[in-house]
Each structure stands twice: as structure tokens, then as C-alpha cells.
Structure 1
């Protein structure tokens, strides 16, 4: 099953914008009401039965069931009788709002933290239309339930089967549409699905390792270095001016809302620039090689350090996801390797060469291998990728398929890598 997402700009008229804003606020009320019911059920059962709580709690009877997704979804028709405002919103949009809450609840239960929070005014910025019986796109318009036809900028055509009226067994069909509100306008994220099965890419062609960092955005094992880009820092001065003006406005006033939109619009501009740059860089890497190796770094941990602001600005995690997406579309194999010690290992003789963060040049005392630190780290990542693919858990045992699968490493290098550090040094000098 193949799923693809296409994002387009839409242009609703004034009446449709009014409807969409009302729907967003209605969905926010439904989300908060369902969350309140969930928290009340938890609070009524958090204290032992043989003592009273020191806090006042909403009392529910003992046989009251847990307010799960099915129960809260079934309560929506009853709620529409008491709150006629809910009838204006498509029923499936309200159901997906409840679904989003319980997805957050399940996510909290699995990882143990991140309890769902109440949504403030304006915090819900998207609604989902999960099902379409017929193709909603007609020309330069998209037809949405209870909203009518909305102008859409189809700057990139959908696959023929998705945009046509007849859909074959292996063609694309439109499954759902997200309508997203941003500071610059409204967007429609269209999800299409097909029964076409695309096999996963296999290691082939030219191999490279990629090392990311703050000094240079990335470096490859071939010697390519992409200079660092600081999207947030470049616009920080302008952002400070807008935020200072916003802080002096009276909250909820018209001038406050105008100033807030300017701040939000600038944040959107920064995010758009970063994503556009990362997509172009991902395509550039896919042009360089058919097999790419990355480090399995948890960038959330890096963001907690003293360079956390710059790490978040770089968006390495988003870039890795984009690279996987682009690689899958272009048939490029992308894998992750162990990141521990990649910058402290010589890629030539594989011994440990300790370096501080300020040391930007790699100089091996054993094999006299000298080059830029980031490129050396990328070469070590590539070496580990070779080992991961060719040995299959048999590293250190010289077998015939090791050299053949790698396609690039020489037999001498495989022998040196399997020896101890002292043997490697003596072998190098004997040669």
C-alpha cells in the first residue's frame, strides 16, 4: 500500500473563512470537553477506597465505564441535541477530533509522560475530512462537506488516477484531506493511496556517509561540505522587534491580534525557508550516491545542551525524515549506524584519536592521516555502514563475501580493521 501527501494552497472566500474559524473553535470545545471527562474519571479513582482525598474531586459511580473513544464518539449525537452549534460541523470532523485526543492519550500511556493538555483559544489549527465517496477535486476547486467548493492552487498535478473520475485497481484515490490554518493563509494536505507495492531500496551503487553538525551543516565521506545555515538567527533581530511591539499591546485587542499575526507570519517564513532548504539538500545528496549512511543520534538530547537553540534551529531530525522520504521516492537506500565515537575514530586505521569539540582537524598519530574532522567522521560512518551490510554480525571474521558486498574497500583495509591497534600500526610501518 502506497500513501503520498500533497500540500496545496487554498483560497476560501470570506464566508468560508468564517465557517472554518467557527469549526475550529467548536472542535476545540469538543476536545476540551472530552479531555475534562477523561480527567474527571481518572481523578475519581486515584485515591484508595478506605480514605478520603484532601482535594475536592468530581464523584463518579463505581460502575461508570472509562470514557474511551467509542463511548465519547457515540455521545456526539446526544450532545448535538443539547448543543445545536455542533450540528454546523461535519460529523466526521467531530469524530476525528475525539480520535486525536485518544491518540494523544495512548501515546502518553506508551511512553509514560506527556499527558494531553487543554487547548487554548486558537491552538487547534487543523481539521480532518477523513472520507470521500467521490473525487473532491474538480479543475481548480476542491469540494469539502458543508463548505462547498474552495479555490485551490494545483501547482503540482496529482497522479492521473487520483485526479480523474475513473480509478483502477492500482490507481490512486484520495483518502482524506487536512485543512490547515497558518499565518500566511489556508492549506489543504491531500492524502492519496494506491494498491501499488513499491519494494524497499537495497544497498547498491556508490556509498557515502553523512555527518551533520553546527559548524558545517553536513559533510560527506567524498569531501563535500555544506556550509552551516542559521535560519532563526538570521531573522532573530526582526523577530525581537515584532515581539517587543506585541508585548506592549493590550491582549485580545485588534492591535494585539495584528501584531500577533506578524510574529506568527515570520515564524512561518522561517519554517518554510528551512524546509525548502532541507528538501533541496536531500535531493542533492540523492544525486551524489545510491546508498547513504547516517548516525542514529537522538537530536532531542542534543537540543538540551548549551547549543540547544542552534540545534533546534538546524532541524536535524526533520532533515533526516525528509531524507528518508526523498530517498524512498528516488530508490536510494538510507540506513543508520551507531554514532558512538565516530568523531574519535580514525577512518583509515580505525584507532581512537581523542579530540575536543574545538579541534576541527583530524590528525592520526599512527597512520599520519590528516583531513577535516567532519569529513573524517563521515568516512567513519561510511565504514560502519560497510561493516553493517557486509558482515551481518560476523565482523572480525574474514569471509569471501565481505569484499564482494562492499564493492569498494580493499582486502588490506579489511584485514587492518580486524586487527588490534598495535598490529595496525606495525603493519602500516612495515608496508
Structure 2
């Protein structure tokens, strides 16, 4: 099992200044390596190496800059710019790795073949995270974390790390309200499914904008609308930013104040998502959700409400917490869940403002979101993944029944 813990750091003024210096140095190196990739792309984007119509000279093609070649250039960087010696070598290598990932997604796409946009250069204060790919397992001791080649930094350890978990990576991030450290943990001995997994304890949920979600048991969770509630306060601070002179200290303070307010809104939404996911996983072992194209929906006129609800964030949190708890989240096709009747399956066309489902064929009458949640549950029942989990759970129960007498002997 893979999970992550995040703790808030309490650095001194000198340590905070050192963090900022490291981030700015990594930003400059990131931009330099990315510019090298762009230079190669512009010089070698055409595969033609000769011209039959006009006799002309074509430059010799360069080798494609790779992660290994850019990584090998780092020792020379430390010779040319000695101040880079204070950075940890693996932190510098991680910056080169980020350049490779960003450029490969631009040219080749991700694992699903989806290409991202052209990578952008990082402006001032836009490079906010640096990562140690490996750290010692005992790096945290007595409220202090030891960062390689940096030193000990005070942190607020609000929960202890289980003994069985191994620290894989360590990332330091600068946010509006301070610095945070994120530890990636792994324990291969934790089972992916809990022993008493009940495949019949299943519920479908339909996320919406009138109510945040409705379950197939007609339980409703009201929507928070944290951004809309904070809009008045955000508008006042935004005016303060626009009235300050560019580059002035007053503008920097106003920008930090605005970022802090946005962070408060995000924290409230995140806390709401975690509590909602916990409540659902306490009641059900299997939760069925729609496979929504949230990016596409966020381009419509309902963009502000959809982004304020944070559907993608909630579904990601729900899936991760279910995996950690040995439970299951199933995604089903979202097409027609609101239009089809949950009782007889007949399609009942409804516009978006029509919030009640009435079927003339079977007489079914219930809330539109409740009807959609039942359809989502019905589509998840008999799912291949659910059958596999159920068979695995049954086989473990049978295996334990056979091995129990052997243990007693």
C-alpha cells in the first residue's frame, strides 16, 4: 500500500530564506534545461536532411537531450556556478526529471496517449517544490526532520508514522501559509482488500450542484459552496492588489494576503471532502460513482459551481481512502443515468432544470438525483472488478478455515 503524510514545517527565518534560495536556484536550472530541450526541438523538428531543388547548407542534427545527458551536465554546472554545490545532488537530478516528464507529455503524451500543452518557463515564485528521491527512515525524531545537506527543521507531527511503513520520498513545498513536508510511505505487507469485505454492501452516489451528492439510499449531503461564500472577502482583497503599484512591497503583501484567503477556502473544501468520504466508507464496502469528464464540464457556463464543488478532488480522495481501507470504488459509464428510469429502464428525457423523475411507463416517481444514484448502483452490480474482489475474499476465508486447524497443531 502507498500513502502520504503531510506535516507543517516551522523553519527559522534563516531556514526560510534558505528554502527560498534553493527554490529559486532550482527554478533557474529548470528553465535552462527546458530551453535546451526547446532549442533541440526547433532545430531538429524537420526530418529532411537534404534539398534537391536548391543547394543549401543544413546544420548537423543534434542529439536529443535526455534525462541522462542533462543529469551528466550537473557536475559541470557546479564547477561553473559554485553556489550550486550547496544543493543536494538528488534534488538537482529531480529538477531534470521534471523537465523530461513535462517535455515527454508534450511530444508523446501520458500513459493514455493524451498530450499536454507546451511546457512553460517558471517565473519568479512559481517553482514551489523540491524533492528528495531517497531519505533515511529515521529522518524524523523528537519533532525535528533532518533534510540531507540542509539540516534539522522543526515540524508539527500531528500523527506518527506506523512502524511498518517505509519512507520512499520527501518533498518540501512552499504554500501561502508556510512550508510543508510531504512523505511518501509504502508498506507492501498491507492487504489490498480487508478480510471481511462484503460485496453486497454497495451504494451508488450521484454528485450534483443542487446537493453535493445523493446516495442510492436517498441520503443527501448538502453542498458547501465555500468559494461563493468567500467571494465578497476575496473581491475586497483583489481590489487592494490591483490598486498597489507593480513591484512594490505593498503589492507583495496584498498578493500574499489574497493567496492566504484562497488557501483557507481550499482547506475548508478539502476538509469537507475528507469527512464526506470517511462517512461513506464507514457505511459501505463498495461505492459506485460516475466516470465524469470534469474538465469538459468545467468549460461550460456552470464552471464556477463545478470547480467550487471540487468533484475531481473528492473522487480522488474517496478512491485513495478506499484503497487504504481495503474497500472498493467502481466507476461506471455516466451516460443516461439521469434520463433512464431506475425501475423499468425506459428513457425519460428531462431538461437540466427538471429536478423530479416521473415515469409514465411504470409510475416511478422520485427525485432526479436519487434516480440517478440507483442507476449508478445497478450498473455497478455484477461488475467484473467486484466479482474478482468477491472471489478473492471468499478464497481467503476458505484458506483461513483450512489453515486454522494446522495452526492449532
Q: Does TM, normalized by the shorter one, top 0.5?
A: yes
- Unaligned 5+ runs, structure 2: 52-56, 388-409
Kindly indicate whether the alpha-carbon contact (under 8 Å) linking 2:49 and 2:58 is maintained by their aligned counterparts in 1: no
- Structure 2 counterparts to residues 350-365 of structure 1, below 5 A: 350-365=345-360
Structure 1 position 267, deviation (Å): 1.1
1:127 aligned to 2:130?
A: yes
The equivalent residue for 1:101 is 99
Change (3 A) 1:24 1:333: same
Deviation per CA, 1:49-79: give whole Å up to 9, x if none. Answer: 457xxxxxxx995253111100000000001
Number of matched residues?
375
Greater mean alpha carbon deviation, residues 198-207 or residues 146-155: 198-207
The equivalent residue for 2:192 is 199
Of the three residues 175, 178, 181, the one matched with 1:188 is 181
Deviation per CA, 1:355-402: give whole Å up to 9, x if none. Answer: 11111001110111111110011011111111435998xxxxxxxxxx
The equivalent residue for 1:240 is 235
The equivalent residue for 1:220 is 215
Structure 1 position 86, deviation (Å): 1.1
1:179 aligned to 2:172?
A: yes
Structure 1 position 129, deviation (Å): 1.3
Kindly indicate whether the alpha-carbon contact (under 8 Å) linking 2:199 and 2:386 is maintained by their aligned counterparts in 1: no
- Structure 2 counterparts to residues 7-406 of structure 1, below 5 A: 7-47=6-46, 48-49=48-49, 62-108=60-106, 109-110=108-109, 111-159=114-162, 161=163, 171-200=164-193, 204-389=199-384
Deviation per CA, 1:285-309: give whole Å up to 9, x if none. Answer: 1122111111111111111111011
Greater relative contact order (Cα < 8 A, sep 6+): 2
Kindly indicate whether the alpha-carbon contact (under 8 Å) linking 1:364 and 1:370 is maintained by their aligned counterparts in 2: yes
Structure 1 position 106, deviation (Å): 1.9
Cα separation, 2, equivalents of 1:61 and 1:275: 53
TM-score normalized with structure 2 length: 0.88
Structure 1 position 271, deviation (Å): 0.9
Cα separation, 1, equivalents of 2:333 and 2:193: 22
SS in 2 for 1:216: coil
Kindly indicate whether the alpha-carbon contact (under 8 Å) linking 2:226 and 2:268 is maintained by their aligned counterparts in 1: yes
Kindly indicate whether the alpha-carbon contact (under 8 Å) linking 1:203 and 1:333 is maintained by their aligned counterparts in 2: no
Deviation per CA, 1:213-244: give whole Å up to 9, x if none. Answer: 11111000101011122111111111111111
Kindly indicate whether the alpha-carbon contact (under 8 Å) linking 1:34 and 1:98 is maintained by their aligned counterparts in 2: yes
Deviation per CA, 1:163-215: give whole Å up to 9, x if none. Answer: xxxxxxxx322222110111111111011222315234666132111000111
Structure 1 position 327, deviation (Å): 1.2
- Unaligned 5+ runs, structure 1: 52-58, 162-170, 393-431
SS in 1 for 2:383: helix
Greater mean alpha carbon deviation, residues 313-322 or residues 107-116: 107-116
SS in 1 for 2:217: coil
RMSD: 2.0
Cα separation, 2, equivalents of 1:72 and 1:249: 41
Cα separation, 2, equivalents of 1:32 and 1:216: 44
SS in 1 for 2:9: strand
Structure 1 position 153, deviation (Å): 0.7
SS in 2 for 1:342: coil
Kindly indicate whether the alpha-carbon contact (under 8 Å) linking 1:41 and 1:60 is maintained by their aligned counterparts in 2: no
TM-score normalized with structure 1 length: 0.83
